[in-house]
Amino acid sequence: MSFENLKPLVTAIVAKENTSRDEKLLAICQLLADAVEYYNWVGYYFANHEAKTLHLGPYVGAETDHTIIPFGKGICGQVAVSNSNFVVPDVAAQDNYIACSFTVKSEIVVPLFVNGINIGQIDIDSHVLDPFTEADERFLEFVNQEVGRLFL
């Protein structure tokens, strides 16, 4: 399914009534994992700015031991500091990478802003080398813009 076709589905999940925030986040993760062939692990991490840590939120994919990540550590931790998208075409080429599984070949992390503050991020792992394009970045920015409404 194309990113343009996925956008109204994401918006509908965010707008769904009588559903908790975590249920909506999980539904978005599931939608993306099901609809995009190379999205093999999709999840959210949320920032604790006092402790300078990220905490795992809803996700779809293989279980992970990385439930708390210090700011600056790994791809997610670096995004917590940089406030910028981070696309890793080949995780084996990254010095500051936290290995989740030997099957993960690439990763994309896009920060989630609410009122100008980076409150977390969407993290996607792929079992394919270098699948992420600028279209993925723009789409995930849209997803996070919609998700941001859940925190207002």
Q: Which domains does the chain have, with CATH numbers?
A: 3-151 (3.30.450.40)
- Spatial distance between the Cα atoms of 30 and 129, rounded to a whole number of angstroms: 22
Strand (E) or helix (H) holding 22 = helix 21-35
Backbone phi, psi, residue 68, to 5°: -135, 125
* 3-class secondary-structure state, position 102: coil
The predicted model gives 70-88 an average pLDDT of: 96
Write the pLDDT tens digit of every residue in 86-141.
Answer: 999 999 888 777 766 788 999 999 999 999 999 999 999 999 999 999 999 999 99
